Amino acid sequence: MASTRQISADPSARFETHAATREAPWVKWTLIVLALSFFALFLLMPLAAVFAEALRKGWSTYFAALVEPDALAAIRLTLIAAGIAVPLNLIFGVAAAWAIAKFTFRGKHFLITLIDLPFSVSPVVAGLVFVLMFGAHGWFGPWLGENDIKIIFAVPGIVLATVFVTFPFVARELIPLMQAQGREEEEAAIVLGANGWRTFWHVTLPNIRWGLLYGIILCNARAMGEFGAVSVVSGHIRGETNTMPLQVEILYNEYQFAAAFAVASLLALLALATLGVKAWVERRAGGARRAARDGASS
Amino acid sequence: MARTTRVLPGFGLALGLTLTWLSLIVLLPLASVFLKASSLSLPEFWSVVSAPRVAASYRLSFGMSFAAASINAVFGLMLAWCLVRYRFPGKRVVDALVDLPFALPTAVAGISLTALYAKNGWIGQYLEPLGIQIAFKPLGVMVALVFIGLPFVVRTVQPVLEDLDTEHEEAAASLGAGRWQTFRHIILPVLLPALLTGFALAFARAVGEYGSVIFIAGNIPMVSEITPLMIITKLEQYDYVGATAVAEVMLLISFALLFVINGLQAWAAKRTGRDR
């Protein structure tokens, strides 16, 4: 019983059980060995090397590097930047998905393309645009200088750059999901007398919760890990405007390899946690989809 | 356009919020690049963006991005094929870890790849006696770009492979076609738009990539400087106009690639939709 369930849980069984859709064993295993060797060489080894290098000088050096004041300041700044950027883009993403998925209007496809734009812009250019706007020689530079407001080479610039690069994440997860779900359920709720917010909280939100979570964790991973854009606007002031990835760079360029990899290992753990939650959400969402389909067919 | 009465509320609020946020965070800042670059006359602009050192960076960025995306197209397809078609131990972990380059910060990938491919690194120590140097050479750029681009190919090809009907393959087999013939003439044509989309996505990402590359590249002028680094270099010399000119070139290339990718995706949707 358990074994049949396991086979049916792996969709590749439908290919492997038919002579017409399977390859000779030597072909299969050659392909698997080649693909997995590539996978190990380009993905597993870089991941393993982070932890190996971090622990090369032992656990005490490792922990000393993490509680060092500049490292702690970098961790704090990374948490602040992500803590501002993710909620802002969450609100925007839900609003954008609501407008795009639940209503018809002209120029919708163009709007979706514009929302995706930050994904196709080089991170360095993303940082540069804010220097051009708010830097000392930028459009608002003189005015900001007169009023003693610092954006570039300060925390607001880092937050702005982070918001820019993480802009599309939540919206692009939610738009296709909410489009697929249609608007009948919400319309029914409205017709039955619920107001807009009630409808959103009790009808829409439960339907999109996995997609929302998925978008948030990807958005957060990028927000905490962004390097290029933040590097341009940060000014690299130790203990003040260094995020964790920038701290990694500084330590590395000072040949403090063990310390650089120690901070990097925290970011690698964050990446692994992100992938873990992502896989879990995908299985939950996939399971919900399967259940809905089975329910509909029976 | 027939207009039905809107039952759902909140359209004005949601769209207004979307357009405001989009304009403030994305559109206005990007427009500032074009405004700033327009302070140069056309010949001045051209001399900045075609200077030998900048031109060398285009050759490196585009050449290595193309090579990396090609490698990813081959191995990404292979990996997607194995994940969809075969059962093997550890498959779920492999499937989850394919997205590692999306989740791992680029600076972390950069220093880790450099450590691996340096002369005394886990991989570099075996390549050194063969006379192959990767870290601090143009080849290092390619290695970093392969890392960054892999999930784009796997994740665009994989869903198409999963949705593929087996009927055509069974028909081909009953008509006496071998597996390779079937793959070549039945499966590959259906996969092609998705594979090209994945290639284009990996290429587009690679051209703009910065964090993972600068550590391993060595950044030697005319030899191993990527185009995004040219922007940084000009900024560090307070040459804002020069930096903006190069940024404008990169933005125009990004927009062109975005246009190509949208076309490819439309083609892929049409092809798989028709075959389903």
Distance CA B96, CA B160 (A): 18
Residue B119 tokens, joined: 């002369």
Residue showing tokens 């989009």? B22
Q: Check: CB of residue A79 under 8 Å from CB of residue A155.
A: no
Distance CA B35, CA A89 (A): 27
> How does pLDDT run across B65-82, given as a tens digit for each residue?
999 999 999 999 999 999
Cβ distance of B107 and A249 shorter than 8 Å = yes
DSSP, residue by residue, B100-169: HHHHS-HHHHHHHHHHHHSTTSTTHHHHGGGT---TTSHHHHHHHHHHHHHHHHHHHHHHHHHH--SHHH
Identify all chain B residues contacting A100, using CB atoms and an 8 Å cutoff: 18
pLDDT at B168: 85
Residue showing tokens 């009630």? A198
Q: How many CB atoms lie within 10 A of CB B189?
A: 11
Distance CA B273, CA B247 (A): 38
Residue (of B259, B129, B114) closest to B197 by Cα position? B259
- The interface residues of chain A toward chain B in range 43-62, judged by CB-CB distance below 8 A, are 43-47, 49-50, 53
Establish if A205 touches chain B: CB-CB under 8 angstroms. Answer: no
Q: Buried (b) or exposed (e) across A207-241, using 16+ Cβ within 10 A?
A: ebebbbbbbbbbbbbbbbbbbbbbbbbbbeeeeeb
Cβ distance of B17 and A91 shorter than 8 Å = yes
Q: Check: CB of residue A130 under 8 Å from CB of residue A235.
A: no
Give the C-alpha distances (Å, rounded to integers) separating A14 from A18, B162, B165, B169, B174: 7, 11, 11, 13, 18
Q: Determine the residue among B158, B210, B250 to mutate to test chain A binding: the one whose Cβ has the most chain A Cβ atoms within 10 Å.
A: B210
Q: What are phi and psi of B165, to 5 degrees?
A: -75, 145
Q: How many CB atoms lie within 10 A of CB B86?
A: 19
Residue showing tokens 């690679």? B206
Q: What is the pLDDT along chain B (276 residues), one digit of tens a residue?
A: 444 567 788 899 999 999 999 999 999 999 988 888 888 889 999 999 999 999 999 999 999 999 999 999 999 999 999 999 999 999 999 999 999 999 999 999 999 999 999 998 999 999 989 989 998 999 999 999 999 999 999 999 999 998 888 888 888 888 888 888 889 998 999 899 999 999 999 999 999 999 999 999 989 899 999 999 999 999 999 999 999 999 999 999 999 999 999 889 888 888 776 443
pLDDT at A1: 37
- The interface residues of chain A toward chain B in range 266-295, judged by CB-CB distance below 8 A, are 267-268, 270-272, 274-276, 278-279
pLDDT at A14: 79
> Which of B92, B97, B105 is closest, CB to CB, to A225?
B105
Residue A283 tokens, joined: 């299985």
Distance CA A115, CA B27 (A): 10
What's the Rg (C-alpha) of chain B?
Answer: 23
Distance CA B33, CA B255 (A): 14
What's the Rg (C-alpha) of chain A?
Answer: 24
Residue (of A244, A78, A86, A266) closest to A155 by Cα position? A78
* Residue B23 Cα to chain centre, angstroms: 25
Establish if B184 touches chain A: CB-CB under 8 angstroms. Answer: no
Residue (of A54, A133, A292, A50) closest to B30 by Cα position? A133
Cβ distance of B105 and A186 shorter than 8 Å = no
pLDDT at B123: 94
Residues whose CB falls within 8 Å of the CB of residue B198, separated by 6 or more in sequence, listed in order: B72, B73, B76, B152, B153, B154, B155, B156, B157
Residue B148 tokens, joined: 């960054």
Which residue of A lies nearest to B187 if distances are taken between CA atoms? A21
* Residue A134 Cα to chain centre, angstroms: 26
Q: CB-side exposure of B157: number of CA atoms within 13 Å?
A: 31
H/E segment holding residue A234: helix A228-234
Distance from CA of A226 to the nearest CA of B (A): 6
Residue pairs between chains A and B whose CB atoms are closer than 8 Å:
307
Residue (of A15, A175, A43) closest to A109 by Cα position? A175
Query: How much is the pTM?
Result: 0.91
Establish if A21 touches chain B: CB-CB under 8 angstroms. Answer: yes
Give the C-alpha distances (Å, rounded to integers) separating A54 from A47, A68, B191: 11, 15, 41
Q: Angle at Cα B141 formed by Cα B62 and Cα B59, nearest 5°?
A: 25
Query: Please, what is the end-to-end C-alpha distance for chain A in angstroms?
Result: 21
Which residue of B lies nearest to A171 if distances are taken between CA atoms? B18
pLDDT at A137: 84
Sign, Cα dihedral of A263, A41, B217, B103: negative
Q: How many CB atoms lie within 10 A of CB B183?
A: 16
Cβ distance of A95 and B13 shorter than 8 Å = yes
One-letter amino acid for residue A293 of the chain: R
pLDDT at A289: 59
> Which of B13, B91, B235 is closest, CB to CB, to A131?
B235
Q: What is the pLDDT along chain A (298 residues), one digit of tens a residue?
A: 344 444 446 778 878 887 778 888 899 999 999 999 999 999 999 999 999 999 999 999 999 999 999 999 999 999 999 999 999 999 999 999 999 999 999 999 899 999 999 999 999 999 999 999 998 888 898 999 899 999 999 999 999 999 999 999 999 999 999 999 888 899 999 999 888 889 999 999 999 999 999 999 999 999 999 999 999 999 888 888 999 999 999 999 999 999 999 999 999 999 999 999 999 998 887 766 555 555 444 3
> Which of B36, B91, B116 is closest, CB to CB, to A132?
B36
